[in-house]
């Protein structure tokens, strides 16, 4: 065997060290120092050297993170110190009780002002606990918690996790160091993994914790390598050859210096009050975090106090987990209704036995479509796990098949629309079933009117969902154009509609006629045409006639319009009934203020109504109007309740008085410009 050449050895060592450092910058600090392509180049350079001489390959080489040969089973590893668990608090009282017990045990004296304990607050990551064992800076093994005494050897899997250092940074670390922390799957990785599973018709994971556990429990570490796991260190276990700092907080910072990821939300807080404040503040930001947390852990900061407090059964007395309300609950699927949407799509909606989850009582959950129902294998009467994370619509994530009653009923797609009785079809290549009734179907009509009247569309003030339901049910409105034919007398027939509110609604419908082209196009509810595309069409075609006569090619030439969307738009505008509908609306007085649309360069001020009055110090009102219109704002001649801002200059008169009376916000020229991020001209 040839001895490795000294030169390539130093190059090899330097490549490994550089790659490890870049890895740390990227995965732990979230702050890459070099572009990805450069990292790839260094990585390939190392691979080439190692391939030429495989005996140079060491387990700490960055090339070894891709996973190793599959195992037959996991070995057992006995923890040098047991891995404990935490006691829980579920409300402020529990936390105050915890603090009182600490104060008593520590015999802190209330009279000397010492009666306050310092805690470190850390988000409680929802993943899998892990123990990482380093000797002379080298990762020797990683183990699960197991029963607390003995865990499983998951070293091969742990090595694939990029935020776990294979070697510690620097040289000032303990000779023997056991780090404890949580392996977790960030929300984005979880969503991507599930989306991939669903596409392949595979089972999705219930939550990021299960996904992390499932990914870690792989005998084939190549699967783990493919799963975007992360690690966050939260304490140390066994150490040797090092004098520990005096606080937990300093210890965590040491871990960070040695290359381990620690949570950047952690903070020092004082007393139960400080803990509660931290809990409240993180609760409000919980949804914005990139990972799931199921509570906050509070730990006594001073190691000396920790030692005084000691342990009770399997938990330290010096720490507690203040848990958030559960995001998953078990309930029963009572029935499934099919709701018909604006485009005729039939959406199955689960009716559940009401259950308190994620902080609210939930009795409905979406089931998306028949594919989802089949994938879950859910039946009526089943016990189901529902999940409500943040503000997301609750969903059924799993069926507890063991609890299935004998009479559980299959969920069948209706053959005819439950609302209008038209045939239901599933188009080739689509997952959704649709009612073919179009606007004959009251459900589709209701939904399209709701969309038409909505704020971002025609913005008809006061025409809410309940009212639209009634208008359609009483057949006062059979199509959108009928809205403009309504008279106050017709409305008197409706529930909870007094003469005054009827008049007001007619007035609002009248006012809404004056709109811009983009809002009108959006209001038409063309499939896949959202606000942005509507603005794009309005800007490019300037008026309705141009859009009606646009060819498919012209549409496809627009930025961000693909062939499918172009086809949708083209089919919509070339259909005779739609052309008639649009012409009719125009005849009934729907009016576009073309200037706004033509000149709008952004939609920063979209939906905001400005009124200008008085003499502005540095520009004419027309100049101000132009600037506002360019940003998608509406500029109106008179102040009303709908006015967002009045821009007032010198000798403003009645408009200013009216605006003040209505509580409309008043801006001067400088403030209006600041709203548009334009600095005022020098005076």
List residues with catalytic annotation.
Answer: 124
Output the residue with the shortest Cβ distance to ligand IVH: 129
C-alpha–C-alpha distance, residues 181 and 313, integer Å:
21
Nearest approach in angstroms of CB 424 to ligand IVH is 48
Residues in CB range of 614: below 8 A, 6 or more apart:
648, 649, 650, 651, 652, 653, 656
Nearest approach in angstroms of CB 473 to ligand IVH is 53
Site size for ligand IVH, by CB under 6 A? 14
Closest alpha carbon to 13 in 52, 37, 42: 42
Strands (E), 533-598: 591-592
Nearest approach in angstroms of CB 147 to ligand IVH is 13
Strands (E), 92-226: 118-125, 128-135, 138-144, 150-152, 176-184
Nearest approach in angstroms of CB 145 to ligand IVH is 6
Q: Give the CA distances from residue 495 to residues 12, 381, 490, 498, in Å, rounded to whole numbers and listed in that order.
A: 81, 37, 12, 9
CA 537 to chain centroid: 29
Provide the β-strand partners of residue 366: 349, 395
Check residue 158 for interaction with ligand IVH (CB under 6 A).
no
Nearest approach in angstroms of CB 77 to ligand IVH is 16
CA angle 32, 37, 43 (to 5 degrees): 90
Check residue 182 for interaction with ligand IVH (CB under 6 A).
yes
DSSP state at residue 146: T
C-alpha–C-alpha distance, residues 678 and 671, integer Å:
9
Number of residues assigned to the chain? 683
- The smaller minimum CB distance to ligand IVH, of residues 142 and 316, is found at 316
Nearest approach in angstroms of CB 82 to ligand IVH is 9
C-alpha–C-alpha distance, residues 630 and 516, integer Å:
13
Nearest approach in angstroms of CB 296 to ligand IVH is 8
C-alpha–C-alpha distance, residues 309 and 105, integer Å:
7
- The smaller minimum CB distance to ligand IVH, of residues 127 and 442, is found at 127
Which residues 237-266 are close enough to bind ligand IVH by CB under 6 A? Answer: none
- The smaller minimum CB distance to ligand IVH, of residues 320 and 605, is found at 320
- The smaller minimum CB distance to ligand IVH, of residues 12 and 189, is found at 189
Q: For ligand IVH, what does the binding mask look like between residues 111 and 140, x meaning CB under 6 A?
A: -----------x-xx---x-----------
Closest alpha carbon to 518 in 450, 464, 598, 583: 598
- The smaller minimum CB distance to ligand IVH, of residues 124 and 379, is found at 124
Strands (E), 249-387: 267-270, 293-300, 311-312, 315-316, 319-323, 328-340, 345-357, 360-366, 383-387
C-alpha–C-alpha distance, residues 505 and 494, integer Å:
12
DSSP state at residue 547: H
C-alpha–C-alpha distance, residues 683 and 641, integer Å:
34
Strands in 665-667's sheet, in edge-to-edge order, are 634-636, 609-613, 645-648, 665-667
Which of 262, 297, 443, 477 is close enough to bind ligand IVH by CB under 6 A? 297
- The smaller minimum CB distance to ligand IVH, of residues 149 and 545, is found at 149
Check residue 292 for interaction with ligand IVH (CB under 6 A).
no
Which of 23, 235, 239, 448 is close enough to bind ligand IVH by CB under 6 A? 235
CB 318 within 8 A of CB 144: no
C-alpha–C-alpha distance, residues 367 and 347, integer Å:
7
Check residue 234 for interaction with ligand IVH (CB under 6 A).
yes
Check residue 178 for interaction with ligand IVH (CB under 6 A).
no
Instruction: Spell 322-352 as b/e; 16+ CB within 10 A means b.
Output: bbbeebebebebeebebebbbbbbbebebeb
Nearest approach in angstroms of CB 395 to ligand IVH is 25
Nearest approach in angstroms of CB 529 to ligand IVH is 45
Residues in CB range of 243: below 8 A, 6 or more apart:
none
- The smaller minimum CB distance to ligand IVH, of residues 237 and 418, is found at 237
Instruction: Spell 96-110 as b/e; 16+ CB within 10 A means b.
Output: bebbeebbeebeeee
- The smaller minimum CB distance to ligand IVH, of residues 39 and 98, is found at 98
Which residues 305-334 are close enough to bind ligand IVH by CB under 6 A? Answer: 316, 319, 321
Check residue 84 for interaction with ligand IVH (CB under 6 A).
yes
- The smaller minimum CB distance to ligand IVH, of residues 86 and 89, is found at 86
- The smaller minimum CB distance to ligand IVH, of residues 117 and 517, is found at 117
Nearest approach in angstroms of CB 235 to ligand IVH is 6
Check residue 85 for interaction with ligand IVH (CB under 6 A).
yes
- The smaller minimum CB distance to ligand IVH, of residues 129 and 468, is found at 129
127 in helix, strand or coil?
A: coil
Which residues 530-559 are close enough to bind ligand IVH by CB under 6 A? Answer: none
Nearest approach in angstroms of CB 643 to ligand IVH is 51
Binding site for ligand IVH (CB under 6 A): 84-86, 122, 124-125, 129, 182, 234-235, 297, 316, 319, 321
């Amino acid at each position: 065997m040839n001895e490795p050449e000294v030169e390539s050895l130093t190059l090899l060592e330097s490549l490994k060290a550089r790659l490890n450092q870049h890895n740390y910058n990227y995965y732990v600090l979230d702050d890459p120092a070099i572009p990805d392509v450069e990292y790839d180049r260094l990585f390939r350079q190392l691979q080439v050297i190692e391939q030429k001489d495989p005996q140079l390959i060491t387990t700490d080489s960055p090339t070894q993170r891709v996973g190793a040969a599959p195992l037959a089973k996991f070995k057992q590893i006995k923890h040098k110190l047991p891995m404990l668990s935490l006691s829980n608090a579920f409300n402020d009282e529990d936390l105050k009780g915890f603090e009182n017990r600490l104060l008593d045990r520590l015999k802190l004296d209330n009279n000397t002002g010492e009666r306050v304990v310092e805690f470190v607050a850390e988000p409680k990551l929802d993943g899998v606990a892990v123990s990482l064992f380093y000797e002379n800076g080298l990762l020797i093994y990683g183990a699960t918690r197991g029963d607390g005494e003995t865990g499983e050897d998951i070293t091969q899997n742990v090595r694939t996790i990029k935020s776990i250092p294979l070697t510690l940074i620097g040289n000032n670390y303990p000779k023997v160091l056991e780090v404890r922390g949580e392996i977790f799957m960030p929300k984005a990785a979880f969503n991507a993994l599930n989306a991939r599973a669903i596409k392949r018709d595979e089972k999705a994971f219930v939550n990021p914790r299960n996904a992390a556990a499932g990914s870690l429990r792989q005998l084939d570490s190549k699967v783990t390598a493919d799963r975007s796991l992360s690690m966050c260190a939260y304490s140390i276990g066994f150490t040797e050859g090092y004098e520990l700092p005096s606080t937990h907080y300093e210890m965590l910072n040491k871990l960070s210096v040695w290359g381990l990821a620690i949570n950047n939300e952690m903070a020092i807080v004082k007393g139960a009050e400080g803990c509660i404040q931290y809990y409240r503040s993180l609760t409000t930001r919980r949804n914005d975090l990139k990972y799931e947390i199921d509570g906050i852990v509070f730990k006594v900061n001073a190691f000396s106090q920790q030692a005084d407090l000691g342990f009770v059964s399997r938990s330290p007395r010096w720490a507690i987990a203040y848990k958030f309300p559960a995001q998953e609950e078990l309930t029963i699927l009572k029935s499934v209704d099919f709701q018909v949407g604006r485009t005729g799509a039939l959406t199955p909606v689960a009716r559940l036995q009401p259950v308190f989850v994620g902080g609210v009582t939930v009795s409905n959950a979406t089931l998306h479509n028949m594919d989802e129902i089949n994938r879950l294998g859910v039946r009526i009467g089943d016990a189901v796990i529902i999940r409500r994370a943040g503000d997301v619509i609750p969903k059924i994530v799993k069926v507890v098949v063991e609890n299935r009653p004998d009479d559980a009923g299959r969920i069948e797609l209706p053959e005819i629309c439950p609302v209008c009785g038209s045939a239901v079809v599933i188009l080739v290549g689509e997952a959704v079933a649709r009612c073919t009734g179009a606007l004959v179907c009251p459900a589709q009509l209701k939904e399209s009117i709701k969309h038409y009247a909505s704020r971002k569309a025609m913005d008809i003030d006061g025409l809410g969902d309940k009212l639209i339901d009634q208008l359609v049910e009483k057949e006062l409105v059979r199509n959108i154009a009928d809205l403009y034919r309504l008279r106050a007398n017709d409305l008197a027939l409706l529930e909870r509609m007094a003469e005054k509110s009827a008049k007001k609604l007619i007035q609002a419908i009248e006012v809404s006629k004056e709109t811009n082209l983009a809002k009108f196009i959006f209001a038409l509810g063309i499939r896949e045409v959202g606000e942005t595309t509507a603005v794009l069409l309005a800007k490019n075609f300037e008026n309705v006639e141009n859009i009606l006569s646009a060819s498919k090619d012209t549409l496809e030439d627009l930025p961000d319009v693909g062939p499918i969307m172009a086809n949708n738009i083209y089919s919509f505008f070339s259909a005779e009934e739609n052309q008639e509908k649009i012409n009719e609306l125009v005849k009934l007085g729907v009016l576009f203020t073309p200037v706004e649309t033509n000149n709008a360069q952004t939609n920063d001020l979209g939906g905001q109504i400005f009124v200008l009055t008085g003499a502005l110090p540095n520009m004419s009102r027309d100049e101000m109007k132009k600037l506002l219109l360019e940003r998608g704002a509406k500029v109106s001649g008179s102040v009303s309740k709908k006015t967002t801002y009045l821009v007032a200059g010198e000798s403003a008169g009645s408009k200013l008085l009216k605006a003040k009376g209505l509580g409309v916000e008043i801006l001067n020229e400088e403030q209006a410009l600041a709203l548009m991020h334009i600095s005022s001209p020098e005076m």
